[in-house]
Amino acid sequence: MAALKMSSLLSRSLRAASGSALRSKGRIPVAVKAIGNYSTAAVTEELIQPSIGVDYTKLLINGKFVDSASGKTFPTFDPRTGDLIANVAEGDAEDINRAVSAARNAFDEGPWPKMTAYERSCILLRFADLLEKHNDELAKLETWDNGKPYEQAAKIEVPMVVRLIRYYAGWVDKIHGLTAPADGQYHLQTLHEPIGVCGQIIPWNFPLLMLAWKLGPALACGNTVVLKTAEQTPLSAFYAVKLLHEAGLPPGVVNVVSGYGPTAGAALASHMDVDKLAFTGSTVTGKTVLELAARSNLKPVTLELGGKSPFIVFDDADVDHAVELAHFALFFNQGQCCCAGSRTYVHENVYEEFVEKAKARAINRVVGDPFKAGIEQGPQIDPEQFNKILNYIRSGKESGAKLETGGDKIGSKGYYIQPTVFSDVKDDMLIAKDEIFGPVQSILKFKDLNEVIKRANNSQYGLAAGVFTKNMDTANTLTRALRVGTVWINCFDVFDAAIPFGGYKMSGIGREKGIYSLNNYLQVKSVVTPLKNPAWL
């Protein structure tokens, strides 16, 4: 299957003419008013009710859906309205204990790590087939619980999940050690062994994709898993892992616990019988996760954390193309991307033209019910994130940045924010330093190559960067000079299954996806055997 390019596919899918609206069981009346010049024409007085039930709201432990030990539940909400979708089992330390016990038994006594690699590969391939078959149901749950556009979830993200699971299914029978020469009469071989019980904590901005990024390599290497969902978006994970068991996964190999970070998350990070931990989320929480892991059994930890990625536009660029790509790099997924191009550096020779066109593009961004065809931007995830973004916008105004457009909420219900563009942004402003995680573009001016390298690197983060230029010498210089984990040249957000992803500095530890991710889930054992009268060494 050809590599999926998120940027190009998303652009095509969101601009394709749609001949019919999504079918729905009913309508939710919501008054949404068009604000200023913003393109909210696709928002009517009624929201589409997703045509799917919520059938899985309990914890998945040892192959069964079960209530939490305490019997507690917590609500998950529709970010379009703030209304309740469902009550979900609230896991805590006791539930983590139960899940880890099931995962430990499945690893030590169960069939998963003892299966042939081919058998495990077949289960993952069947899982991918089921994900593909249930593409629409998964996308509806993702949109309903998260607020991202349905077209994005259905045409981009779920297919990427399918591709990634197939990618790791292909790796299962290719994980092996080496033989090497040794000084003296010895035979040396290395074994690559599964690390054991893996704790995995995923975020709310890409629930299904992050589930696949975590489960794929862990299962390919023969490990068992306890996965904690984000409390904002638990629904799609339960549905997906139900399909994984339908594909033939033995009980206890993957367990899913929904709950809050300070209870379920902390219990998983500090559990003495968890052998490895993977976390995706904020840098602040990542520090806590790392500390809990170190204080417990010193389990190895991989972290995929925050970012404040520079998007650098040179004066030889096609400005129209650069504006569109920079717009995508920032506003995609409501700006809720760790690698968003949230510091837009533009050369002074094209700065004024770029700002005017970036403003016009933001004004024309289509905001509304994410279940409607043609919508580019849905609501933010929840009131906490919504208010955080509005506070950063307020900070930008107060610090002297020029508000070109946007800067306020849309409507009186739900968590919609106007696409916002600031110009005249300085490096020491909070909107240029902090990870906003919302639809706020900060445009900064630069003069020359050396200057922009220093400014781009002057950040606690180092997750990604975008470079827009026709000069390959400039591109090659920046490729090596920027202290980030990914550099996109004349593109952005290209997420092939084989491309490693992770950050420098406080953007994380380790890499997701690709061959490098397998190293996170393997132990290397050296085996040395004496050779008696060898014919050769």
Candidates 142, 304, 376, 404; catalytic one: 304
Q: Six-digit token pair at 272?
A: 């003495």
Q: Six-digit token pair at 201?
A: 């904590």
Task: State the SS3 of 362-409.
Answer: HHCCEECCCCCCCCCECCCCCHHHHHHHHHHHHHHHHCCCEEEECCCE
Distance CA 414, CA 382 (A): 8
DSSP, res 154 = I
Distance CA 410, CA 369 (A): 12
Q: How far is CA 442 from CA 37, 320, 427, in A?
A: 20, 18, 10
In sequence order, what E strands does 314-365 have? 343-347
Owner of token pair 């004004």? 363
Distance CA 32, CA 179 (A): 66
- Return the H-helix or E-strand segment holding 446: strand 440-446
- DSSP-derived 3-state class of residue 293: helix
Residues whose CB is less than 8 angstroms from the CB of residue 380 and which lie 6 or more positions away in sequence, other chains included: 79, 147, 334, 336, 386, 389, 415, 416, 417, 438
Beta carbons of 120 and 106 less than 8 angstroms apart: no
Q: Six-digit token pair at 151?
A: 């077209």
Q: Six-digit token pair at 435?
A: 């990870």
**How many degrees, rounded to 5, is the angle at CA 332 between CA 326 and CA 333?**
160
Strands 464-468, 486-489: pairing kind: parallel
End-to-end CA distance of the chain: 44
Q: Is 304 an annotated catalytic residue? A: yes
**How many degrees, rounded to 5, is the angle at CA 271 between CA 269 and CA 273?**
130
Residues whose CB is less than 8 angstroms from the CB of residue 244 and which lie 6 or more positions away in sequence, other chains included: 127, 130, 215, 254
Residues annotated as catalytic (active site), given as ranges: 304
